[in-house]
C-alpha cells in the first residue's frame, strides 16, 4: 500500500495512505477523544468530539473521518481544540438526563467518562430538553430515547453487522430520534432481540429488560424452590465484570456465588447442550439417510431463530426442531426434576443466566411453555445482571472457593462447553453424529476446521467415507450470505450452524461491557473467551455428549430413545412465520 509522510504534534510519521488521522495518531500512542466512533462499524463522524487542526486551519476536522495525505500537518491538542471539544460535549450533556447515580451505566458510561477526562464539571447551556417515554414493549430490549446522543452506533450495528435494519433516525433537527420504522414499538418491529444495540451504545439509550427484581422476589419467597442454570459462555466472561481479564474460567466461583445468593439448586445449561446434541445428531442422521430437508440448520440461538422467522420463512422447514439447551433443561426441570424431587412444577422457579438478551424473548414464547401452561423458564438474567446481583450482596467472587453443580442436571461433557463459541455446536454435533453414522468410536475429537470463525466459513469434512459439506456463520449479516446460497441452491450443505451474535454466544448482547479501552465486538476479547471454553473441553474426561452418563440415564428412565415420542414432545418445538415475509 502506498505510504505518505505526515506530521502529528511535531512528530514526523510515515503511514498508509488509506489511514485516517485517528488511526495514524494511535501509532504514536495518541488517543484522540471520540464518542460516535467504533472500530468494527462504519465511520459516522457525527459527534465531532475527535476534531483536530489540520495545516493550521481553525476549521477543525473529525479525525475519525479524515484521510491522511502527503505533507499533512496535524495538531491533536491545543487550548482552542480542548475548548471546542468541551463545548461540543457540553451541548450533548445539556440535552441528557441528569440521573447518573441511578443509571445502569454509571461508572461505565462513555459519555460520563469523556466528561470526566475533558474536565466538564458544569452544564452551561440550559434550555428545552427532548422528552420521550421509555419504550419497554420488548421482552428483551428497553429503548430510552432521552438518553440517546444520536451517535448512530445502534443503527450501524443493526444494519452492518446484523443485517436486520430495524433502527434508523426519524424526523429532523431537535425532534430527531432513533427508533424502528414509523416509530413502531420494539415488540412490533423486526427486532430479533439480539442486544447488540445495547452492547455498542455508549450510554444507556438501549438496555436489557431488567429481570433482577423478579429473581430477588422469588429468592425471598419461602414457597418457591428457586433453581438456576448457567450457559457455557457465562463462565468465560463473568470475571470481566469483576475486573479480570477476558478468558478467565470462573465456573467454580460462579456456582458458589449463586448458592450464596440463595438458589436452592445450581444446574448447568451444558446438560441441556448435551441433550441438544443427542437429539440434533439423531435428526441429522435421519435426514442424511433420507436425503430430505437438507441442510439441517441449528436452532440454539433464539435471536437467529427470530431472524429466520422474519426474513427466511421459506427455510423454516430446514431448521432443527430441537429447543435450545436453555429451554430443554428448563422443560426437564418442570417435568423430570419436579417428579424426582416431589415438588409441584408450579412451585419451581427456573432462572436462566444467559449471555443473550434474546433468551428473555425465548422464555416468553408460548410454544415453549409446559403442557400445563407454565413458562419453562421463569426469568432470564444476562451476565451483566448476575454481576449486579453478586455485587449487591457484597460477594467477592474473585476469591470464592469453587463449587460444583448439582446432579443429575449439572453434569456435562466437554462437547457442551464449546457451544458458547462459534462453530462449537456444529463440532459437538459432529462428534456424536460421526459415531452414529459409522458405528465406530471417534478417535480425533477436534474438528478444528470449524473453529475460530471470523464471520463465516465453509468446510468439507470426511466421516466414514462420506463427505459432509458444512458451514458456520456468526453475526446475521454473515448468515445472510449462507442462507442466500441455500435459498438459491447455489450450494448444497448438509449441516449449517448459525449464531446471531458476532463470535457466537461469547459475544452475546448481555455480556459484560468491556473495560480498559476495549470495544464490544473486539475479536481478541471473543477469542480469549472462546479459548477458555476449549480449555475446559480439553480438560474433561468425557468429551462426547452421548457418553454423558446422566444423559444415558435420563433416556433410560424417562425419555426413552432419542427422537422418540416423549423426547420429541418435551424437547422439540415449531416456528412461526412473521412479518416481513422474505426480502
Q: Which of 186, 208, 230 is the last residue of a domain?
A: 208
Mean of per-residue pLDDT scores for the chain:
92
Give the mean model confidence (pLDDT) for residues 449-462: 82
- Confidence band of 215 (pLDDT split at 50, 70, 90): very high
Listing DSSP states for 377-441 in one string gives SSEEEEHHHHHHHHHHTT--GGGPPP----SSTT---HHHHGGGSTTHHHHHHHHHHHHHHHSS-
CB neighbour list of residue 79: distance below 8 Å, 6 or more residues apart? none
What's the pLDDT at 317?
Answer: 95
Give the mean model confidence (pLDDT) for residues 205-211: 96
Q: Do residues 436 and 557 both lie within one domain?
A: yes
- Confidence band of 337 (pLDDT split at 50, 70, 90): very high
Chain segment 508-532, per-residue pLDDT in tens: 999 999 877 777 778 888 899 999 9
What's the pLDDT at 519?
Answer: 76
Count up the domains in the chain and report the number. Answer: 3
Chain segment 478-510, per-residue pLDDT in tens: 999 999 999 999 989 999 999 999 999 999 999
Cα separations in angstroms, 137 against 1, 144, 188, 191, 212: 50, 12, 8, 12, 18
Domain-embedded: residue 373: yes
Give the mean model confidence (pLDDT) for residues 535-560: 93
Q: Do residues 177 and 313 both lie within one domain?
A: no
Give the mean model confidence (pLDDT) for residues 92-96: 90
Cα angle at 507 between 506 and 510, to 5 degrees? 95
- Confidence band of 207 (pLDDT split at 50, 70, 90): very high
- 206, 141 contact by CB (below 8 A): yes
Domain-embedded: residue 116: no
pLDDT > 80? residue 126: no
What's the pLDDT at 151?
Answer: 95
pTM value? 0.93
Chain segment 346-365, per-residue pLDDT in tens: 999 999 999 999 999 999 99
Longest dimension (CA), the chain: 80
What's the pLDDT at 404?
Answer: 96
CATH code of residue 24: 3.10.20.740
Task: Find the range with the poorest average confidence among 89-98, 122-131, 347-356.
Answer: 122-131
Question: Cell triple for residue 468?
Answer: 459432509
What's the pLDDT at 161?
Answer: 94
Which residues are designated catalytic?
280, 283, 300, 320, 359, 362, 367, 505
Q: Do residues 316 and 376 both lie within one domain?
A: yes
Residue 462's DSSP bridge partners are 467
Chain segment 162-206, per-residue pLDDT in tens: 999 999 999 998 889 999 999 999 999 999 999 999 999 999 999
What's the pLDDT at 303?
Answer: 95
Strand order in the sheet with 296-297: 296-297, 495-499, 466-474, 456-463
Q: List for the chain the helix, strand, coil content (%; round to 5).
A: 40, 15, 45
- Confidence band of 583 (pLDDT split at 50, 70, 90): very low
pLDDT > 70? residue 581: no
Pairing of strands 11-16, 141-143: unpaired
For residues 229 and 308, give the distance between their C-alpha atoms in angstroms, rounded to a whole number: 26
What's the pLDDT at 582?
Answer: 41
Task: Find the range with the poorest average confidence among 48-52, 450-454, 570-574.
Answer: 450-454
Give the mean model confidence (pLDDT) for residues 44-58: 93
Which residues form the domain of 67?
3-93
Q: Do residues 198 and 237 both lie within one domain?
A: no
Q: Do residues 263 and 378 both lie within one domain?
A: yes
Q: Do residues 218 and 319 both lie within one domain?
A: yes
Domain-embedded: residue 576: no
pLDDT > 90? residue 462: no
Question: Can you tell me whether residue 4 is helix, strand or coil?
Answer: strand
Domain-embedded: residue 360: yes
Give the mean model confidence (pLDDT) for residues 380-389: 97
Q: Do residues 382 and 451 both lie within one domain?
A: yes
- 504, 306 contact by CB (below 8 A): no
Question: Can you tell me whether residue 183 is helix, strand or coil?
Answer: helix
Q: Do residues 63 and 146 both lie within one domain?
A: no
Give the mean model confidence (pLDDT) for residues 2-27: 94
Domain-embedded: residue 79: yes
Q: Which of 48, 68, 93 is the last residue of a domain?
A: 93
What's the pLDDT at 296?
Answer: 94
What's the pLDDT at 429?
Answer: 87
Cα separations in angstroms, 196 against 199, 337, 362, 407, 514: 5, 34, 17, 34, 13
CB neighbour list of residue 31: distance below 8 Å, 6 or more residues apart? 25, 517
What's the pLDDT at 481?
Answer: 94
Give the mean model confidence (pLDDT) for residues 441-467: 80
CB neighbour list of residue 177: distance below 8 Å, 6 or more residues apart? 130, 132, 145, 148, 169, 170, 171, 183
CB neighbour list of residue 154: distance below 8 Å, 6 or more residues apart? 167, 178, 197, 200, 201, 205, 206
Chain segment 270-298, per-residue pLDDT in tens: 999 999 999 999 999 899 888 889 999 99
Task: Report the share of the chain in percent with pLDDT over 90.
Answer: 78
Q: Which of 208, 226, 249 is the last residue of a domain?
A: 208
pLDDT > 80? residue 119: yes
Number of H helices and E strands in the chain, helices first, is 20, 17
pLDDT > 70? residue 262: yes
Nearest to 254 by CA among 272, 233, 279: 233
Q: Do residues 337 and 455 both lie within one domain?
A: yes
Question: Cell triple for residue 252?
Answer: 467454580
For residues 189 and 534, give the distance between their C-alpha atoms in angstroms, rounded to a whole number: 37
pLDDT > 80? residue 448: no
3-class SS letters over 523-582: HHHHHHHHHHHHHHHHHCCCCCHHHCHHHHHHHHHHHCCCCCHHHHHHHECCCCCCCCCC
Q: Do residues 218 and 191 both lie within one domain?
A: no
Question: Cell triple for residue 333?
Answer: 426441570
- Confidence band of 576 (pLDDT split at 50, 70, 90): very high
Amino acid at each position: 500500500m502506498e505510504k505518505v509522510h505526515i506530521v502529528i504534534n511535531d512528530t514526523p510519521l510515515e503511514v498508509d495512505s488509506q489511514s485516517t488521522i485517528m488511526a495514524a495518531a494511535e501509532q504514536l500512542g495518541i488517543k484522540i477523544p471520540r464518542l460516535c466512533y467504533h472500530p468494527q462499524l462504519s465511520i459516522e463522524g457525527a459527534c465531532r468530539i475527535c476534531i483536530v487542526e489540520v495545516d493550521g486551519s481553525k476549521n477543525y476536522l473529525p479525525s475519525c473521518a479524515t484521510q491522511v495525505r502527503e505533507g499533512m500537518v496535524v495538531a491533536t491538542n491545543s487550548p482552542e481544540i480542548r475548548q471546542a471539544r468541551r463545548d461540543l460535549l457540553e451541548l450533548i450533556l445539556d440535552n441528557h438526563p441528569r440521573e447518573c447515580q441511578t443509571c445502569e451505566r454509571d461508572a461505565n458510561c462513555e459519555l460520563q467518562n469523556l466528561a470526566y477526562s475533558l474536565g466538564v464539571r458544569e452544564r452551561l447551556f440550559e434550555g428545552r430538553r427532548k422528552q420521550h417515554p421509555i419504550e419497554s414493549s420488548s421482552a428483551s430490549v428497553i429503548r430510552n430515547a432521552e438518553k440517546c446522543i444520536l451517535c448512530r452506533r445502534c443503527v450501524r450495528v443493526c444494519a452492518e453487522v446484523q443485517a436486520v435494519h430495524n433502527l434508523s433516525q426519524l424526523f429532523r433537527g431537535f425532534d430527531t430520534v432513533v427508533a424502528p420504522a414509523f416509530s413502531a414499538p420494539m415488540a412490533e418491529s423486526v427486532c430479533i432481540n439480539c442486544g447488540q444495540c445495547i452492547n455498542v451504545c455508549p450510554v444507556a439509550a438501549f438496555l436489557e429488560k431488567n429481570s433482577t427484581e423478579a429473581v430477588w422476589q422469588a429468592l425471598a419467597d419461602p414457597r418457591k424452590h428457586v433453581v438456576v442454570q448457567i450457559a457455557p459462555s457465562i463462565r468465560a466472561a463473568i470475571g470481566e465484570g469483576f475486573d479480570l481479564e477476558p478468558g478467565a474460567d470462573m465456573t467454580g466461583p460462579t456456582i458458589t456465588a449463586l448458592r450464596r445468593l440463595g438458589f436452592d439448586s445450581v444446574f448447568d445449561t451444558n446438560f441441556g447442550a448435551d441433550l441438544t446434541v443427542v437429539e440434533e445428531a439423531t435428526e441429522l442422521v435421519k435426514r442424511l439417510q433420507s436425503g430430505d430437508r437438507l441442510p439441517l440448520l441449528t436452532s440454539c440461538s433464539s435471536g437467529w431463530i427470530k431472524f429466520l422467522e422474519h426474513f427466511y420463512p421459506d427455510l423454516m422447514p430446514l431448521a432443527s426442531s430441537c429447543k435450545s439447551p436453555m429451554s430443554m433443561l428448563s422443560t426437564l426441570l418442570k417435568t423430570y426434576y419436579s417428579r424426582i424431587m416431589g415438588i409441584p412444577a408450579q412451585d419451581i422457579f427456573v432462572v436462566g443466566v444467559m449471555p443473550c438478551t434474546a433468551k428473555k424473548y425465548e422464555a416468553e414464547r408460548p410454544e415453549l411453555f409446559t403442557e400445563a401452561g407454565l413458562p419453562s423458564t421463569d426469568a432470564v438474567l444476562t451476565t451483566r445482571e448476575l454481576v449486579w446481583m453478586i455485587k449487591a450482596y457484597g460477594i467477592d467472587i474473585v476469591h470464592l472457593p469453587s463449587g460444583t453443580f448439582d446432579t443429575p442436571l449439572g453434569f456435562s461433557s466437554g462437547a457442551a462447553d464449546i457451544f458458547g463459541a462459534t462453530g462449537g455446536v456444529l463440532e459437538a454435533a459432529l462428534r456424536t453424529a460421526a459415531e452414529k453414522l459409522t458405528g465406530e468410536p471417534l478417535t480425533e475429537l477436534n474438528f478444528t476446521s470449524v473453529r475460530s470463525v471470523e464471520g463465516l466459513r465453509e468446510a468439507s469434512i470426511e466421516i466414514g467415507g462420506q463427505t459432509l459439506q458444512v458451514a458456520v456463520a456468526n453475526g446475521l449479516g454473515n448468515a445472510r450470505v449462507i442462507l442466500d446460497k441455500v435459498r438459491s441452491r447455489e450450494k448444497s450443505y448438509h449441516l449449517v450452524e448459525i449464531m446471531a451474535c458476532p463470535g457466537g454466544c461469547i459475544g452475546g448482547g448481555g455480556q459484560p461491557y468491556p473495560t480498559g479501552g476495549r470495544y464490544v465486538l473486539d475479536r481478541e476479547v471473543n477469542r480469549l473467551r472462546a479459548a477458555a471454553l476449549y480449555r475446559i473441553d480439553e480438560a474433561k474426561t468425557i468429551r462426547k455428549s452421548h457418553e454423558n452418563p446422566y444423559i444415558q440415564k435420563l433416556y433410560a428412565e424417562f425419555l426413552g430413545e432419542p427422537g422418540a415420542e416423549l423426547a420429541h414432545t418435551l424437547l422439540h418445538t415449531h416456528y412461526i412465520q412473521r412479518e416481513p415475509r422474505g426480502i
